[in-house]
Every structure is written in structure tokens, then in C-alpha cells.
Structure 1
Amino acid sequence: MNNELTLIVERLETRQTLQALMPEKAWDAALDQRIAELPIITAATPSGDKTELIALMAGLHLLNESLDASHAHAQEIEDDPTGAYWHGIMHRMEGDFSNANYWFHNAGPHPAMQKLQDRAADWVRNSTVLSDLPEGAVRDGIAAIARQVRWNASAFTAMVALQESGGSSEDTRGALEYIQHLELEELFAHTEQAARHLLA
């Protein structure tokens, strides 16, 4: 894999804070510039190979909480399920919840969603976090993750919307940020794996 890409991914993976539900700016502006300058898509890249690479760029920017840059890439591949999924998360993180749900619908039953569901359900069942959360709709929604069979992106969006409207506590914010972290990890792992053969 491209050495600079490896260094960028390592920087993103070792950050000490989780991505905000609604970030106000890029986590690391200098890193965002490094992502933008990655030479992984060139004029010589066959058009059929560009989708996976563009998705990778959208994911890297979103992991760095750079919404506009991520959006620009996701818009280029909005007919692709992975592009639609990155597009949906970006809109949720900017607070455009109905638009987020539109793109989650377009992403369909994305493979990353099942892995996310398994990890999130396991976390809800086996962590002590749930019993520490205040009663309310967000806690109920988090508890429902342990019972559902498939990842419900619109239900999670509704929890984030309620949290951001002031309808819950900072404890629930931390739980939602952790679940979002799992989502970003799984989608990025899928995206990176799809692009790996193009980055040798």
C-alpha cells in the first residue's frame, strides 16, 4: 500500500478521541491536506477502478471529520452502495437527517452493516454502559440494537437527532459516539479492502 496512505491511516487509527456526532471542523487540518494530496487517483487510473479509490478518499476525509471534502468525493460515486453509505454518514454528521436516511436507503443492505450490527449488539449486551445511561428514548434505542437482526441506519439517525436536539445526556452522547465509531471502522475496513488491489 502507498506509504503515505499507510501513515495517514495509522494517524487516524491512533487518535485519542472518537469522531463527534456533529463535528464543527476537521479533526486535523494538516492531515486533511495530506489526504487531499494523496496520489492514489491519477489520470492514468482506469475509470472502472476509480469508484473504490474515490470511496477510500471519502472515508479518509470523514474519519478526519472533514465533511465537505468527504461529501465532494461521495457525490462522485453516489450510485455505488459504499459511496451512498459514506454519503449518508456525512449528512447525518452535518445534521441533515432526512437526507442521511435517503442515502442509507440507497446503500441498501451494505456488507459493512451486518458486521456493524454484530459488533454493536455484542457491545450493548456485554458492556455495563447501558445500565448507566439515563432512561429515555436514546437509551431504549441503544438497547434495541441488541435485539434487532439487521442494522437499522434510520433508527440510529433518529437517536443522533434526538441527542443533538438536547433530548438526552452526555452519557448517551458517549454511547452514540462509540457506536458511530464502530460504524466508521467497519465501513472503512470494507472500503480499504475493496481498494487494496489497486494500491499495490
Structure 2
Amino acid sequence: MDIQQTKPEAAIVITGDFNGASLHDALPTYVQYVNFNTRGRSCLDLLYSNIKDAYKTISLPPIGRSDHTMIHCLPTYIRKLERQKSMIKTIRQWTEDAEEQLGGCFACTDWNIFEDTTTNINDYTNVITDYIKFCEETIIPTKEIKIYPNNRPWVTNDLIHAVRKRRRLWMFGHHEECKEAQKEVNIIIAQC
């Protein structure tokens, strides 16, 4: 099961005419969904999946002269994007103006005050660190972003904009420019 090891979140479905064989011992984590007779008084056609509660199966009449009933699988699986809620995360926007203001704040600071008020190196380090955090929190603006469960950490805004640019160029028939945009996308992906 190379697929299962390389892509553990992938949906894997195994189906067929098993003629009385069972995969329960070989694949104990897989779920078998067919719970009705598919040929006469036997359940020969099975459907295994690595996702619990992924399907609801219904028996339908056979096609043509077949002696096996048809199995209609209705998906009940909920995508990861819909199963998990998105998170709101607060990030700091490090702009050049904010960095200059923070640098100005540090330039105006009398650092000797911290040395005079502390007695040992640990207290001195803690006080300096707390002051730097205070300055950062008051000067650097924050922004709330929404993180979805299917987001990949390497997909940045630059990559999204480059892909959208390439798509727009293709839609408007600028195929030569689209090739250049694809090169740009590839460079950004490599950097990510």
C-alpha cells in the first residue's frame, strides 16, 4: 500500500467481486459498505474504503442480463474544508514605515535605565525583552487573517497573485505572455 504510506489523507476505495473473500484481516482499518446480497443469496460484490462513514450503499436492479445487482454508492463524506472550522489568526504587518518608527523608538530609548533598575543578568534580559515586545505591540500594526484547514503554508499571496495573473492572460488569449507568467509562477513556487 504505497499510496496509503505516501498519501495518508487520500481517499482509497477498493471494490470488486470478492467471491466470498474478505479483506477484513488484511486491511483491518478499512470499512466495508455493502451489507446486502449482490448475487442471489450471497454478498459477493464488496466496497472497502479507508474513510469511515464515506458512503451509503443502495441495491439497484441488475444491468441487462447480469446476475449481480447494481450497487449505488451515495457519498456521505464531508471534505476536510467543511469538517473543520477556519481559524482567525492575528499577524503583524512589517512595513518599512513601521520598521522606521520602531527603530526611532529604540533610538530614543535610554537603555541605561534598564541596567540601573535590575540586579542580575536574567532580570536585565527579561526587562529588555519585555520592553522590545511592548514597543513592537504598540508600533507594528496587526491584521487578522483567516486560515482554512486546506491551506498549505507554502502558498503565499505572491504565488496566488501570480497564478491569477497567468489565468487572466490565458483567458484573454495572451498565450505568449502566459508562458512568461508561468515561468514567474515556477520561480515563486521554487522560492516557497
**TM-score (normalised: structure 1):** 0.23
- Higher helix fraction: Structure 1 or Structure 2? 1
- Higher strand fraction: Structure 1 or Structure 2? 2
State the structure with more CA Rg: 2
Higher relative CO (Cα under 8 Å, sequence separation at least 6) belongs to: 1
